[in-house]
Structure 1
Amino acid sequence: MSKQDTGAFPSTTGNHTSALVIVTILFFMWGLLTSLNDVLIPHLKAVYTLTYVQAMLVQFCFFGAYFIVSWPAGILIKRIGYQRGAVAGLVIAACGCALFYPAATRGYGLFLLAFFVLAAGITILQVAANPYVTVLGDPKTASSRLTLTQAFNSLGTTVAPAIGGLLILSTTVMTAAQFDALPVAQQVAHKAQEAAAVQGPYLALAAALLGLAGLFALARLPQIAHQEETVLTPQSTAERNSVFAHRHLVLGAIGIFLYVGGEVSIGSFLINFMGEPNVAALSAADAAQYVSYYWGGAMVGRFIGFVVMRQVSPGKALAFNAACSIALILTAILGSGSLAMWAIIAVGLCNSIMFPTIFSMALKDLGALTGQGSGVLCMAIVGGAIVPFIQGFLADQIGLQWSFFVPAACYVFIAYFGLKYAGMYDKSST
């Protein structure tokens, strides 16, 4: 089974290194763009006087795009190839960034459309780039390579809040009472000024994405041409040609849904959790400084995972990290004070290897179906739109601290998936 992975790709090590460097830039950029949502959500909430549910439409539109676009993106990649697919994704993402300019004067609805278009481009990038990395070398180290590139994705998510806060958020914080005290004309002018703060940064991002698209289009990257799968079992042709006939892919898609949902959910409620009187009683401004530790932990953990998983089974490493996440979340739920605060922040470190490991394990031995399989996995990223709403509902019913049982339950399945397929690389490495 392993021959279809190694035989479908040129074996020039130098070419692989150059390709990985270029693709890693893509990972950094979409991490940056995704994490900027954390800055824009409170910004737009203040500008348009939104409720919490209305503000969460940003994440719903953003992660909802993964569900809608991923499947056709997989078909697109299969037809035009991984490199052209990445270029298309970059151009579409640039269009999404450009839409932020008219959105500043047209209202919240156009902002939501801009988020959807931006996420659609990022989705195509994910469908193209993730499987591209998995085949750039030895199949046994696919998880390690994807973990390394995901580390730079985490670098983007770590630096984005600081950059966005500097360029977008107003230096003068106006309370609701202060805003209401302003004359109507000044209120309108203030909202227009705040909305316009996103125009410059997102136009610059649009230009950067277009430049990167040009670089990627001109780069001489190795071409992937998967061979058709060899008939190894008496299953029918229809079954072999369906990605859903591969059980490890289906379970991997559930794992991606729950992982992204758990990760985004924790991040979404982190500031509120640290503001709880029995946890740290921090103000929102002070608590926001600790969010970078959560995302930064994932970045550090991915560099560590790149080294560790060259020796340790990806499945076992995944199960271990999931078990640690469960233990930390339970500590945050049942504990108090700084212990609870740092326990929930430390989950970011455990998150580090989960996405790339689940992704590469789910795509193992799919051959010609790899592009479509990647599309299925990217559709599952819609968990980032759904799981936070479930936790939010429970937070209203039983309290914020107890609601963290939702992400804890997500990690239980991830631990199961890791243990179930802990030996899959050993079986196919001979």
Structure 2
Amino acid sequence: MSASTHHPQPVQLRKAPLSMLVPVMASFFVMGFVDLVGTATNFAKTDFGLSDTLSNTFTTMVFFWFLILSIPAGLLMNHIGRRMTVLLSIAITALACLLPVIGYMTSLRTLQLTMIIISFCLLGIGNVFMQVSLNPLVGNLAHDKKLAGTLTFGQFVKAIASFIAPLIASWAANAFGRWWLLYPIYLVIAIVVFALLAFDHIHENPPDEGRTSIPRCLSLLSDSVILLCFIGIVCHVGIDVGINTTAPRILSESTNMALESAAVATSVYFAFRTIGCLAGSVLLQRLSLKSMLRLCSVLLTAGCACLIVFCSIPHMPVWLAMTGIGLLGLGDCNVFSIMLTTALLHRPERQNEISGLMMMGLIGGAIFPPLMGLASDGLGMQLGAVLVLTLGAAFIVLMSVFFKQYRVKE
């Protein structure tokens, strides 16, 4: 992919009518609702007195569904279309935001915890359908080499929802003693976005060629490029969800900072991820996928190094942890778009199936946090969690080093 073939992102975005573009980009905001699981997990941990290992399994309830529903969601999308699948996902996400409100309006702690757990499951189910359908829907607005930049712009919009979630929860906790007021706010937004997209009209690409099936989708993993991109997404999401969940604990463990105040660490992560997505939407129009992935790898390596030092040595300054968290946000934010674009352009005739298969990689959000919880409980410190994150970052670094060997063409 040469720089001469690229044009600035704004030119590409203007090719789609504003009335068509806004609902699609707003849907990325709803996609970001899934990241409130990190904030909700930390507050629920305090509310119900849970251990790191047990509370981290909440994220498994969210991301487990990517393992079993991603391919079926891709098959469904092939039948009902991409926009209808996105609408279904928004409806499920709205229900996920409603249930905790019902639970916390009562004084029954068992009901509150039950509603939180069901909400996490529905957030995961809704996000499966959203991730599988919204990314290829963007393919109707941007094509071929413009796809990575446009997907990253969507991730920028998604990151805004992720960034403000802990801020809203902390504000609600400090002002009203009710962190869960985050849920009704996001519920209203989901309803508005559903209405916008319901009246949107997008000319969709035709369904995938041939008869689609689960075995046919899974057979794509025999392609080395598809397999490596799949594992890359597993590691990307594991890092993303892992640091989202663990960042406040890293601060509070070493500084004795209250959880409500330590939640700023999550906001720092998402702030830098938001900046990184915006910058990436421009850089991916000018740099090759290989160059961009290597830049991401450098940032991830530096971020992990900062957190390892912070967790290993007592009395290290807070800015070192914040620097590490910020570098992870910058480094990880564009990995998803690079992996997905590499896979989609590698086999363009099977994009719906590949989208469903790649979204199975979001199971990384269910794999990494429990391992991080076990490691931190085992070592008695958050260093264990950081070391698990470092393993995921190491795979992405290796992918960037050997990109030319497995990437057939750019």
Shared fold per TM-score greater than 0.5: yes
- Residue correspondence of structure 1 range 101-112 to structure 2 within 5 A: 101-104=101-104, 105=106, 106-112=111-117
Give, in angstroms, the shift of residue 91 of structure 1: 1.4
Using the size of structure 1 for normalisation, the TM-score is 0.80
Q: Which residue of 1 aligns with 2:221?
A: 244
Residue 331 in 1 paired to residue 306 in 2? yes
Q: Which residue of 2 aligns with 1:187?
A: none
Per-residue CA deviations over 1:101-143 (Å, capped at 9, x if unaligned) read: 4433434223211221122112211111112224533411211
- Residue correspondence of structure 1 range 402-413 to structure 2 within 5 A: 403-413=385-395
Structure 1 411/51 Cα, relative in aligned 2: closer, same or farther at 3 Å? closer
1:224 match: secondary structure: coil
- Residue correspondence of structure 1 range 105-124 to structure 2 within 5 A: 105=106, 106-124=111-129
Residue 343 in 1 paired to residue 341 in 2? no
Q: Partners of 2:186 and 2:302 in 1: how far apart?
A: 39
Q: Partners of 1:111 and 1:208 in 2: how far apart?
A: 19
Q: Which residue of 1 aligns with 2:26?
A: 25
- Residue correspondence of structure 1 range 120-159 to structure 2 within 5 A: 120-159=125-164
Q: Partners of 2:93 and 2:219 in 1: how far apart?
A: 30
Aligned-residue sequence identity (percent) comes to 22
Q: Which residue of 2 aligns with 1:179?
A: none
Using the size of structure 2 for normalisation, the TM-score is 0.83
2:337 match: secondary structure: helix
Q: Is the 8 A contact 1:39 1:165 kept in 2?
A: no
Structure 1 343/166 Cα, relative in aligned 2: closer, same or farther at 3 Å? closer
Structure 1 24/286 Cα, relative in aligned 2: closer, same or farther at 3 Å? same
2:63 match: secondary structure: helix
Partner amino acid, structure 2, of 1:77: M
Q: Which residue of 2 aligns with 1:354?
A: 335
Q: Is the 8 A contact 2:239 2:332 kept in 1?
A: no
Q: Partners of 1:327 and 1:333 in 2: how far apart?
A: 10
Q: Which residue of 2 aligns with 1:189?
A: none
After superposing the two structures, state which structure 1 stretch, 305-314 or 17-26, moved more. 17-26
Per-residue CA deviations over 1:3-33 (Å, capped at 9, x if unaligned) read: xxxxxxxx996336654432111111221x2
Q: Which residue of 2 aligns with 1:186?
A: none
Q: Which residue of 2 aligns with 1:310?
A: 285
Partner amino acid, structure 1, of 2:25: T
Partner amino acid, structure 1, of 2:374: F
After superposing the two structures, state which structure 1 stretch, 100-109 or 118-127, moved more. 100-109
Give, in angstroms, the shift of residue 84 of structure 1: 0.9
Report runs of 4+ in structure 1 exceeding 6 Å deviation.
238-241, 423-426
Q: Is the 8 A contact 1:329 1:343 kept in 2?
A: no
Give, in angstroms, the shift of residue 226 of structure 1: 5.1
Larger CA Rg, structure 1 vs 2:
1
Structure 2, unmatched stretches of 5+, are 1-11
Higher helix share: 2
Q: Which residue of 1 aligns with 2:246?
A: 269
Give the RMSD, CA atoms, in angstroms: 2.9
Q: Which residue of 2 aligns with 1:6?
A: none
Q: Partners of 2:260 and 2:334 in 1: how far apart?
A: 29
Q: Is the 8 A contact 2:372 2:388 kept in 1?
A: yes
Q: Partners of 1:12 and 1:355 in 2: how far apart?
A: 20
Q: Partners of 1:165 and 1:240 in 2: how far apart?
A: 42
Partner amino acid, structure 1, of 2:95: C
Q: Which residue of 1 aligns with 2:45?
A: 45
Q: Is the 8 A contact 2:74 2:132 kept in 1?
A: yes
Give, in angstroms, the shift of residue 380 of structure 1: 1.4
Give, in angstroms, the shift of residue 312 of structure 1: 0.8
Q: Which residue of 2 aligns with 1:301?
A: 276
The count of residues paired between Structure 1 and Structure 2 equals 383
Structure 1 50/306 Cα, relative in aligned 2: closer, same or farther at 3 Å? same
Structure 1, unmatched stretches of 5+, are 1-10, 174-193, 230-237
Q: Partners of 1:16 and 1:139 in 2: how far apart?
A: 19
- Residue correspondence of structure 1 range 185-224 to structure 2 within 5 A: 198=180, 202-224=183-205
Q: Partners of 1:264 and 1:330 in 2: how far apart?
A: 19
Structure 1 422/293 Cα, relative in aligned 2: closer, same or farther at 3 Å? farther
Match of 1:165 among 161, 170, 194: 170
Per-residue CA deviations over 1:132-190 (Å, capped at 9, x if unaligned) read: 224533411211111111111111111111122233x25477xxxxxxxxxxxxxxxxx
Q: Partners of 1:52 and 1:412 in 2: how far apart?
A: 24
Q: Partners of 1:239 and 1:75 in 2: how far apart?
A: 11
Give, in angstroms, the shift of residue 255 of structure 1: 0.7
Structure 1 225/151 Cα, relative in aligned 2: closer, same or farther at 3 Å? same
Structure 1 324/63 Cα, relative in aligned 2: closer, same or farther at 3 Å? same
